[in-house]
Amino acid sequence: MKKLTTTIVFLMIAITSYGQTTTEMREFDPNFAHTVYFWLKNPDSQEDRKAFETSLQKFLDNSAYAKTKFIGKPPKASRDVVDGSFTYSLIVTFESAEAQQNYQDEPPHKLFVEESEKLWSKVIVYDSMTIQD
């Protein structure tokens, strides 16, 4: 019994220590999703990738409006319908379309574009709002 209790306590500590904390967790807000795909000019350049990732992370860390902040890269496509041609993706959610517009106009976003636009050859944005009333 003592061994079981010790194991449970250890697991609780491990989960608490290595899981997300409330300050780190950014809940998905279904009101407005902003999905961006980036194609870098030199996707094989580790220097360009590092510069892009650093600038994007700095921007997201300083955004007053973005809730969910997901930066991704394409996995190896396993099906024909999967488009893995992009270099990076970004998914950000907002409480409203107005908050998303404020995000577009905030200084950290403008700085990100200024720092990184020379690195990409193409950007596609998909914005969507919830279907729920």
Single-letter residue type at 14: A
Q: Can you tell me whether residue 91 is helix, strand or coil?
A: strand
Q: How far is CA 105 from the centre of its chain?
A: 18
Query: Within 10 Å of residue 52's Cβ, how many Cβ atoms?
Result: 22
Domains of the chain: 26-129 (3.30.70.100)
From first to last of the 133 residues of the chain, give the pLDDT tens digit. 555 444 443 333 333 333 333 344 356 777 899 999 999 999 999 999 999 999 999 999 999 999 889 999 998 877 888 889 999 999 999 989 999 999 999 999 999 999 999 999 999 999 999 887 6
- Report how far apart the first and last C-alpha atoms of the chain are (Å, whole number): 52
Whole-prediction pTM = 0.76
> How far, in Å, CA of 88 to CA of 105, rounded?
22
